[in-house]
Amino acid sequence: MILAFGLVFGLLLQLWNLPEPGDSSFSLAYLAPRVGRAKVKMPESPHSSDKAWGVIELVPGTVQGISRLFLSDDGKFPNNPDYPLLIFQGLHSGLLEGAAEHFVENGWTLPWAWGIFEYHHYHSTAWEALLCTQGSANIQFGGPAGPRLEVSKGDLLLVPPGVAHKQLVARGGFTLLGAYPAVDSAPVDVLRGGPSAEERANICRAVLPTTDPVFGSSMPWELSQLLR
């Protein structure tokens, strides 16, 4: 009886010390060594049971610092039934000078420089590359029940069509370079509600990125491997 009480008490102490998703201490750096425990309350996807839905996981067989997050339909925001949000933490820090030119050279549109809308939204027609060049921000993905990630200078996000995102808190002049695949992509839309049948079809047929917007074809990873 005493032993059981001690085990329960110890477990409660560990849980008590975990940061809340909105806390400034909650970041990918915190989650990285705890892959598999970073679960969020997202609905189960009917599309595939072999994906870690709602779990931030390090991508096996790649360099340290690459994570992915599969997000399922939450009843309003479709997210993506096939592809994950890709998170490259700090891997582009030494390549920020001239980054806008690299985007264009590597098959992406000329990037805009700004933050993220402060409301949940998504794009049905294109992938979105977001490279942080200054400051940091807390960004929520997947809708109101989705995880909140700390994005800092040097971080790159590849956001699949359909995946909802919203800027919550920004610090230090937070700035992103944002761009979309330049070849065969449809005009980029901005959606805030449930998708129509056509918009769902757009999500499924959007052109997949084939190159990293900064590294280009010399990227030290295969995007096709990261998207599985």
The DSSP result for 70-112, as a single string, is B----SS----SS--EEEE-STTGGG-TTHHHHHHHTTBPPPE
Residue type, 31: L
Query: Is 160 contained in some domain?
Result: yes
The total number of structural domains in the chain stands at: 1
Specify the pTM: 0.77
What pLDDT was estimated at residue 175? Answer: 97
Angle made by CA atoms 101, 106, 108, in degrees to the nearest 5: 80
CATH number, position 217: 2.60.120.10
pLDDT of residue 198: 97
1 in a structural domain: no
Residue with the larger pLDDT of the pair 112 and 6: 112
- What is the band of 19 on the pLDDT scale with cuts at 50, 70, 90? very low
Q: What pLDDT is recorded for position 49?
A: 58
- Structural domain contains residue 14: no
User: Does residue 193 sit within a domain?
Assistant: yes
Nearest to 113 by CA among 132, 136, 140: 132
pLDDT of 181 higher than 70: yes
pLDDT tens for each residue of 60-77: 777 778 899 999 999 999
**Residues 185 and 208: beta-carbon distance below 8 Å:** no
The percentage of the chain sitting over the pLDDT mark of 90, rounded to a whole number, equals: 56
> Is residue 135 over pLDDT 80?
yes
Residue 6 in tokens: 């001690």
3-state secondary structure of 113: strand
Show the domain range for 60. 19-226
Q: Give CA–CA dist 21/150, Å, rounded.
A: 9
Q: Is residue 121 domain-resident? A: yes
pLDDT of 227: 79
**What is the rounded CA–CA span in Å between residue 160 and residue 86?**
8
